[in-house]
Amino acid sequence: MSDEIQLKVSSRPTELDSKLGTMPSSDQLQYLPWGTRSLKLAVLGDYAGAVRICPEPRDSDPDRIISYAAGAAGQAIEVSWGGGWENGAELEHKPGQTEYAYFNITHQGETAADSYQLDVVARGESGQELGRKTVTLLRPALPPVLLKPEWQAVGSGDQDLVLSPSQPDAPAHVPLYLSRWWPEASVSYADPMVVRVPPLMRLHCKRNVGDGYSQVEVWGRRGKTGSEAHLADIDGDLQFPVIDLRQIKANLYHMAGHWDLRIWFFWLDKGVAKRINKTGLGDKEMDMLQSWGQRQEIPDAERVDLVFDKDLSLRYLCTDLHWHELWAPYRNSLPVHISIAGMNLKDVIIRGSGGISVIAAAQAQSYLPAPRGDFDPSLQVMERLRDPERKERGGGSFEHKHTPYFHNVEFDADLASSDVREG
């Protein structure tokens, strides 16, 4: 008997694939060595009702909402998702309709194997198996030198996350931009001899500043001897990611002659209070830890993209809001101030060619002036980066639990995606 639910890898061809007429595989995807990228699965079939999509095996600790791929290094591929769904990505499936589920694929450890096998299972409300897919995660062709994340202690308990070349003092190859919601099938790298040597990126993580307040400073440097540029300050509801540094990730991409630093914040562990060293924690942090599993949305994942030019001037900002991708041009002074929001909601104001739409953050469903399926606004951003004379229209701001809030930044409705669950 055929599965009631079929799962297929959904990815789009790269520019080279399109020229060669190569179609992406429905059961393979290239992972990003020492980085995080998206796995997008198409969910289809005759089944009607609630479906949970979950990679297996899960972590043996039920408090850690994480899965792994099988391979040479055991937990070298960590798989996560968001939405607060402890049992996997959830959706309401209708017969004959294609839905989409998204997972974060993080490679870590000392080596990068040729391939890893990831088993993904679809289950119904009562736990019955409806379908399964084995996804082969392939290693791309690796350049001689690439960037690897490295944590460094910096006095008083602070930590730096530095993106360091795998060979000291050698120019690193940087992956070409990868879309979060419309992932390319393969990973390609930009040659530093062609696109310039990438800047040195540093995230300075300050824990327990002011008794419960945590902050991440983002710094960039052109070469080892250049001066550092202070690009961004990220604060707010960050205590857990900063306390448990495994929950902060960063990747640098090459994007249309510019650089894109993507910073991930994860909330994946309900048992953090029993897992961390509490030495030096303030009263507010201790209170937060005692009720961590009840007060936080776990699992959850948020990201911030900072697009900047060769002079380390910020040009664009990106994040996500309720299954939509938002982009904003940036013209203010540095550093940009970003907060990981608390429970309070603000209205979202998006201005564009279709007029003004005002919506609550938790109900941000259809604010596009002309909704389009499978609309990746990063393609328009790339076009605008190549055309600095083009004028952008303004927008607004937002705040929601774990959602990055950009201070004094305007979002553009023409650079807001369609609902990513629809394509």
Question: What type of residue is 56?
Answer: E
Among the candidates 99, 116, 138, a domain finishes at 138
- Whether the CB-CB separation of 292 and 285 falls below 8 Å is answered with no
Q: Token pair for residue 286?
A: 């201790």
pLDDT of residue 282: 73
Q: 138-142, 210-214, 258-262 — which is least confidently predicted?
A: 210-214
Both 283 and 203 in a single domain? yes
Residues 41 and 67 occupy one common structural domain: yes
Domain boundary among 103, 138, 173: 138
Do 96 and 132 sit in the same domain of this protein? yes
Cα separations (Å) of 100 from 50, 84, 97, 232?
13, 17, 10, 33
- Tell whether 153 and 127 lie within a shared domain: no
Domain boundaries, position 299: 147-422
116 contacts: CB under 8 Å, gap ≥ 6: 31, 69, 70, 71, 72, 76, 77, 136, 137
User: Helical H runs in 229-302?
Assistant: 239-243, 283-290, 292-295
Residue 140 has pLDDT above 70, yes or no: yes
217 shares a domain with 107: no
Report, in this order, helix, strand and coil percent for the chain, each rounded to 5. Answer: 10, 45, 45
Q: Same domain for 170 and 134?
A: no
CATH at 62: 2.60.40.10
Predicted local distance difference test score (pLDDT) of residue 394: 47
Q: What is the total count of domains within the chain?
A: 2
Give me the pLDDT at residue 368, please.
Answer: 47
Answer yes or no: do 154 and 133 share one domain.
no
Task: Give which of 397, 327, 299 is closest to 180, Cα–Cα.
Answer: 327
**Amino acid code (one letter) for 359:** I
* Neighbouring-strand partners of residue 376: none
Task: Based on the fold, state whether residues 320 and 341 are members of the same structural domain.
Answer: yes
First-to-last CA distance in the chain?
Answer: 28
- Stretch 82-105: mean pLDDT: 94
C-alpha 168/C-alpha 154 separation (Å) is 20
Give me the residues paired with residue 255 across strands.
258
The arithmetic mean of pLDDT across residues 266-279, rounded, is 80
Residues 239 and 356 both lie in one domain: yes
Task: Please give the single-letter amino acid code of residue 223.
Answer: G
How large is the average pLDDT for residues 133-160?
Answer: 91
Least confident of 165-179, 183-197, 216-230, 397-411: 397-411
Contact (CB, 8 A) for 370 and 414: no
Give residue for tokens 């952008």.
392
pLDDT tier for residue 44 given thresholds of 50, 70 and 90: very high
- Give me the pLDDT at residue 73, please: 66
| 110 and 168 co-located in one domain | no
Cross-strand bridge partners of residue 132: 121
Question: Which pLDDT band holds residue 36 (cuts at 50, 70, 90)?
Answer: very high
What pLDDT is recorded for position 2?
55
On whether both 119 and 165 belong to a single domain, the answer is no
- Mean pLDDT for 67-73 is 83
String of DSSP letters for 88-147 = SEEEEE-TT--EEEEEEEEE-SS---SEEEEEEEEE-TTS-EEEEEEEEEEPPPPPSSBE
> Are the CB atoms for 391 and 378 separated by under 8 Å?
no
Q: Determine the pLDDT at residue 266.
A: 92
What is the C-alpha separation between 26 and 38, in angstroms, rounded?
Answer: 15
- Tell me the pLDDT tens digit for each residue of 329-343: 898 999 999 888 754
Of 121-130, 158-167, 244-253, the one with minimum mean pLDDT is 244-253
pTM, to two decimals = 0.91
**Boundary-marking domain end, from 138, 157, 186:** 138
Radius of gyration over alpha carbons of the chain, in Å?
Answer: 21
Shared-domain flag, residues 50 and 164 = no
The torsion defined by the Cα of 272, 276, 279 and 282, in degrees rounded to 10, comes to -20
Contact 7, 130 (CB under 8 A): no
Q: Are 110 and 64 in contact (CB under 8 A)?
A: no
Q: Given pLDDT bands bounded at 50, 70 and 90, which one contains residue 212?
A: low
What average pLDDT is seen over the chain? 84
Write the pLDDT tens digit of every residue in 360-386: 333 333 444 444 567 888 988 998 888
For residues 163-182, give the mean pLDDT: 94
Residue 78's pLDDT band, with cuts at 50, 70 and 90, is very high
C-alpha of 261 from chain center: 11
